[in-house]
Amino acid sequence: MDEIWAGALAGLRLVVTLDPALVDITLRSLQVTLTAVVIASAIGLPLGAWLAIRRFRYRRLVIATLNALMGLPPVVVGLVVYLLLSRAGPFGVLGLLFTPTAMIIAQVIIITPLIASIAHQAIRELWADYHDLLISLSTSRRQRIATLIWDGRRALLTASLAGFGRAIGEVGAIMIVGGNIDNATRVLTTAIALETGKGDFALALGLGFVLIGLALAVNIAIHMVSRTESDGRW
């Protein structure tokens, strides 16, 4: 119990003094995860909507696969991305291994199925309501997807935030493809793993509290910007 207090204090001290190393790794965490969320949303949201309105032979199989991929083990993703980006691998010439870009690629692979799956659930219900209207207006498939995404934006925001939540706390994959290099690819989660390894539990826990605070701040900021709770809307 003492160590949890010591951790909270350590976290508070880091934040209050704006420790330069902490600011650096926190910004990198945000940069990597937000970029990954934007890319994964750009892929996952339209994919979820498309799966909701399009009927084709293997649709159920695709949806089941997508749902199963939500539980993709990050370590395996990390290992596969490592083998692809390794200089001995097929994309080795790009020189992306052990860079933030490699971490973004791994995170996009991890969270895209999650975002697409949640988006699919939300859009499916909306589509049931909008089906007759959109068909009678003889809209094109592209217009239908755009309408559904726009009108379902609050539910889709939840999908993206779920992706953010999984990505910001992820450590297994980015440790392998990023390498936890000081001043280059060290982020909050890998720093926590490092400090735990050194037995410095207070600092590790302090960084953990910073991470939780960061996730909270991002969620609140996005809700404020998108005004989900304003004007008497429930």
DSSP code string of 45-74: HHHHHHHHH---TTHHHHHHHHHHHTT--H
Site stretch for another protein (CB under 8 A), options 17-25, 158-166, 176-184, 226-234: 176-184
Is 182 a binder of another protein (CB under 8 A)? yes
Q: Nearer Cβ to another protein, position 38 or 69? A: 38
* Closest distance to another protein from the beta carbon of 77 (Å): 17
Report whether 202 contacts 6 (CB < 8 A).
yes
Is 184 a binder of another protein (CB under 8 A)? yes
Is 197 a binder of another protein (CB under 8 A)? yes
Judged on CB neighbours under 10 Å (0-12, 13-18, 19+), 163 is buried
Q: Nearer Cβ to another protein, position 95 or 213? A: 95
* Closest distance to another protein from the beta carbon of 99 (Å): 5
Report whether 134 contacts 49 (CB < 8 A).
no
Cβ neighbours for 70, distance < 8 A, ≥ 6 positions apart: 113, 114, 117
Spell out, one character per residue from 60 to 99, where the chain touches another protein: x when CB under 8 A holds, - when not: --------------------------xxxx--x-xxxxxx
Report whether 163 contacts 111 (CB < 8 A).
yes
How far apart are the two ends of the chain, measured CA to CA in Å?
40
* Closest distance to another protein from the beta carbon of 145 (Å): 13
Report whether 95 contacts 150 (CB < 8 A).
no
Segment 9-68, which members bind another protein (CB under 8 A)? Answer: 35, 38-39, 42-43
Is 133 a binder of another protein (CB under 8 A)? no
List interacting residues with another protein (CB under 8 A): 35, 38-39, 42-43, 86-89, 92, 94-101, 104, 179-182, 184, 194, 196-201
